[in-house]
Chain A
Amino acid sequence: MSKDRQNVNNDRLRVSLPGLEMKNPVMPASGCFGFGREFAELYDLSLLGGVVMKAATEKPKFGNPTPRVAETPGGMLNAIGLQNPGVDKIIEREVKWLKGFDTCVIANVAGSAVDDYVRTAEKIGAAEGIDAIELNISCPNVKEGGIAFGTDAKVAAKLTSEVKKVSKVPVYVKLSPNVTDIVEIATAVEAAGADGLSMINTLMGMRLDLKTGRPIIANKTGGLSGPAIKPVAVRMIYQVYQAVKIPIIGMGGISASEDVLELMYAGAAAVAVGTANFTDPFACPKIIERLPEVMDKYGIDKIADATGLAHRV
């Protein structure tokens, strides 16, 4: 991985978003990287533009029954159910540990009602080492909260403004693709004070076991992720970019450096890599390493120039 090191200080890769001065635009997506401890056994997390932590809720959460995952063509379904040790333990153990790396740290915040979202965001936003909050209003796998906040523009806006009132760091609202008009939600949370958007979360799906006739996932439905959803992400980022002024962190099916460029062309200012971390735990550093080569191929001098390029040609 010696070549990665050269990219750490490659000015061509720098991107700047509210609260996030990133050495490159690539970070692992929330839920696909835990708190980074397992991946840190394989490579230096300081290579990453940032780390988006696994969702934090006010109280510890066990999540859904198993099986929680199923493979699909070009991707997978998951219904983990936001399992996490709770915001206090996350601050005490994980944030403190992640602070030791030279990378941005984003806290993903989830909840079941406005009150606990707000309390969790206030707490973790004040923790030393947290650069931004990703407000998770789009988890399709929990009975209360989650996606319920992300499918109604008024509800999403209300939550955003309440969280903005207490958060000491910029707030990126993570949008759900499971809506009729994502632009309506995006513009509503922008008007409510969101500093940025993060999109897209997983698409709700289901798989059945032909032997038993039952859903493979115990929760019945799960969130579809992986390369199969990339065109949906590109389309939605493209549409939202035209309608908002705040920056977008793009995610959905990125598995190669070319995909980073594609989501950025559509309008993303930075990107997150999710499911690809399971296929190849070195996905993030490999994508970062090859990025300059792919930029050369397509005539991109600075990666920041790629943001929204599709709208200027």
Chain B
Amino acid sequence: MLDEKMKVVDNLCIAKDTWKMTLVGRQITEEMKAGQFINLQIEGKTLRRPISVSSFDGGMASVTIIYKIVGEGTQKMSEMKVGEEIDVLGPLGNGFPIEKVASALLIGGGAGVAPLVQLARDLKAVGAQVKAVIGFPTAADVYGVSELEALGADVVVSTDDGSKGFKGNVMEAIKDKDLTGDVVYACGPVPMLKGVEGGFDRGYISLDIRMACGMGACMACVVKDKENPEKYYRVCKEGPVFAIGQVEL
């Protein structure tokens, strides 16, 4: 975990209320893994904004995040100009374990599509065939297709209203197209993750939850173990990635 001043080198709108920002730092990418997150200090805001890493480039010490404008903090982020500096804490959390498998199925919903980009790259690097099913409310919300396809992933898009790709949610798309993999990786809203846990035994889910410190100290973001009610995990520290069936959703 490092605290770095990073420079905004890119910040643009890629879908409805969805922005992509690239930051350049010094060492923050050295230990970074797919599925980890960074915690950004926003001027005038008490709490940092934890945003998952969409992709990173170790050689350039650059990190790309994809974030949705949901309130004042993310609105302020969208107004940041190229060249501005932002205080970043990271990398945080555990990240996705990269399994050496023949095929992997990546499932993303909304903002949860973002971290699948680096994940697809890392899985490709170990020789896995990568399929990605990504779901959004409507065509205007869709992003990530070109990034995932550029990495050689087969991409299926679903929208709730059918305005782009399959009409329905990601689980319905998976069923309809009979998609599978040796291991699944999922990131998205809790109902989607519950669907993933209902459909697959082997794989990982990544959780999105309100945090305060983002580094394991404040106990704001805890989840309970599914088997042992006495056991709990801090999503920011022991998570955000958990094995399917590990935590109470």
Residues from chain A with Cβ under 8 Å of B220 in the complex? 66-69, 78, 80
Closest B residue to A226 by CB, please name it: B46
Q: Does A227 contact B46, Cβ atoms closer than 8 Å?
A: yes
A205: shortest Cβ distance to chain B, in Å? 13
- B197-227 contacts to A (CB < 8 Å): 209-224
Interface of A is mostly: loop
A33, A37, A71, A227: the one contacting B47 at CB < 8 Å is A71
Q: Does B222 contact A63, Cβ atoms closer than 8 Å?
A: yes
| Also in contact, A38 and B3, with CB within 8 A (given A69-B47, A71-B47, A279-B41) | no
Map CB proximity to A onto B227-249 as digits: 1 under 8 Å, 0 otherwise.
00010100001000000000000
Residues from chain B with Cβ under 8 Å of A74 in the complex? 46
| Also in contact, A76 and B212, with CB within 8 A (given A38-B217, A60-B230, A275-B46) | yes
Closest B residue to A33 by CB, please name it: B217
Closest A residue to B221 by CB, please name it: A66
A60, A69, A280: the one contacting B212 at CB < 8 Å is A69
Asked if A39 is an interface residue, CB under 8 A from chain B, the answer is yes
Residues from chain B with Cβ under 8 Å of A69 in the complex? 47, 210-212, 218, 220
B3, B48, B221, B222: the one contacting A42 at CB < 8 Å is B3
Asked if B89 is an interface residue, CB under 8 A from chain A, the answer is yes
| Also in contact, A76 and B217, with CB within 8 A (given A66-B210, A69-B210, A279-B41) | no
A2: shortest Cβ distance to chain B, in Å? 16
**Bound complex: CA A34 to CA B221 (Å):** 13
Q: Does B48 contact A278, Cβ atoms closer than 8 Å?
A: yes
| Also in contact, A68 and B210, with CB within 8 A (given A62-B224, A226-B46, A279-B47) | yes
**Bound complex: CA A75 to CA B213 (Å):** 13
Map CB proximity to A onto B127-154 as digits: 1 under 8 Å, 0 otherwise.
0000000000000000000000000000
Closest A residue to B237 by CB, please name it: A38
**Bound complex: CA A279 to CA B212 (Å):** 9
| Also in contact, A34 and B46, with CB within 8 A (given A68-B210, A281-B89) | no
Asked if A114 is an interface residue, CB under 8 A from chain B, the answer is no
Q: List 5 A-B contacts (CB under 8 A).
A: A34-B218, A67-B220, A68-B221, A71-B45, A74-B46
Chain B interface residues toward A at CB < 8 A: 1, 3, 41, 45-48, 73, 87, 89, 209-224, 230, 232, 237
For the complex with contacts A38-B217, A62-B230, 12 further pairs of A-B residues with Cβ separation under 8 Å are A31-B218, A42-B1, A63-B222, A66-B209, A69-B212, A76-B46, A83-B222, A278-B47, A279-B41, A279-B45, A280-B87, A281-B215
